[in-house]
Amino acid sequence: WNFEGRLYIGSTGAWIWFHGLATPREEGDVIFFDGLLLDITERKQAETQKQEAVDSLRKSEARLRSINENLPGNIFQFYAKDSGEYGMSYISEPAGELAKIVENVDLKNTDNAFSSLLNYIYDEDKDRLLNSIKTAMETEQPWNFEGRINLLTNKIIWFEGLSTPTRHKDTLYFDGILLNITERKLSEDKFYKVFMTSPDCIAITRMKDGLLIEVNKGFEDVIGLTREQVIGTKSTGPPMNFWPDQSDRDRMVADLKAGRAILHREFLFRRGDGSIRNGIYSARTLIIEDEECLVFIMQDITEHKQKDAELQQTVSSLKKAYDAIVHVMVATVETRDPYTAGHQIRASQIAEAIAREMGLSEDQLAGLRMAGVIHDIGKLSIPSEILSKPTKLTKIEFSL
């Protein structure tokens, strides 16, 4: 007889596990069982705990497998020992485009996987990759790298590597993820090309001090300085000294910080050669690497402003000439008919006053004022003998 079960102990009010073992023997017509009862409660509890631990591990493994399969990239771990030895200790099965680079790489042989994968890194990015890893190892800081991979199909994809270091005795482990960022890089490249080829002058600067982060070709054309000359310098200092009036920049920053939009605002700016020009700009805020920055878009309107001066001067000259002609006409009429001298001016003043009370526009007032001044201009074509005749006109004179 062999049996395991539970037994209730009334004195303690608890259930215990027991194991019963017995061997039968016959004495006459009676069968006796000689056996032993063992308390196996502790063993059963240990077995239960072990099973629970196994179940928990299986659940954790299933969760990790699910997470791994659904991640947008590939999990990896590489190590660096204080002795100088380094390598890859783990990489998950790649999916998608990244899978194509490991078709001929034995991922199970992690010691050789790192050097094998390195062969697929774009030639121009290899030294930069190795230097970034070396720096992360020496400083024991997180590793972050963007680079290119040559696929077996000669197609190039962009990847980003992110990892965090953990030290164990004489070894530094980097646990991280590889992401395929090709679409993002293509999108960035597209917008960068639009940025660089825009005919407008565009600059991205740091809000707090005007440090130039990026400029486009239009900036070089308008300002007269190259990108290499200005990146890393401040718009408020050499070589640009962009703001002739520093208060213009202070006002721009204050408006942006207050959330006010800046569109088509006229101002004065300084070119690289020191000349002062007229410009019109718009500005918006943006965050770059947790730093408050602004994008500045400007056009040089100096030539347009000069033409508008020229136009105003022409209009002013025409107005002066027109006024002179009118005054000559008025004087001539009054010379022809001294009896009504001053009548046209007074009529013009009365007409303007009435029109102003009626709420007519300034242009209408000006036209009415001018019409009033010359409303007797027809007298110029009438013989002075008729205009100044002190007696009644004849029918012939009146018809004239």
* pLDDT for position 385: 82
* pLDDT for position 248: 94
Check if the beta carbon of residue 169 is closer than 8 Å to that of residue 80: no
pTM recorded for the entire structure: 0.47
CA distances from 2 to 33, 38, 111 (A): 11, 11, 53
* pLDDT for position 221: 93
**Largest separation between any pair of C-alpha atoms in the chain:** 183
Strand order in the sheet with 156-168: 86-91, 73-81, 171-180, 156-168, 143-150
Q: Could you give the CA distance from residue 284 to residue 318 in angstroms, rounded to a whole number?
A: 43
CA atoms within 13 A on the CB side of 276: 5
SS3 for 67? helix
Q: Could you give the CA distance from residue 257 to residue 249 in angstroms, rounded to a whole number?
A: 12
pLDDT per position in the chain (400 positions), as tens? 999 999 888 888 888 999 999 999 988 889 999 999 888 988 888 888 888 888 888 887 777 666 556 666 777 888 888 887 777 777 776 555 565 555 555 555 555 666 777 778 888 898 998 898 888 888 889 989 999 888 766 778 888 888 999 998 889 998 888 888 888 888 778 878 888 888 899 999 999 999 999 999 999 999 999 999 999 999 999 999 999 999 999 999 999 999 888 999 999 999 999 999 999 999 999 998 888 999 999 999 998 888 878 888 888 888 888 888 888 888 887 777 777 778 888 999 999 999 999 999 988 998 898 898 888 888 888 887 888 888 999 998 888 8
Dump strand ranges (E) for the chain: 2-9, 14-27, 30-39, 73-81, 86-91, 143-150, 156-168, 171-180, 201-206, 212-215, 262-270, 276-288, 291-300
* pLDDT for position 262: 92
Check if the beta carbon of residue 175 is closer than 8 Å to that of residue 151: no
- Strand 73-81 and strand 86-91: the pairing is antiparallel
Q: Could you give the CA distance from residue 206 to residue 295 in angstroms, rounded to a whole number?
A: 9
Query: Count of residues for the chain?
Result: 400
* pLDDT for position 218: 93
Spell out a b/e string for 249-266, using b for 16 or more CB atoms within 10 Å of the CB, else e: beebbeebeeeeebeeee
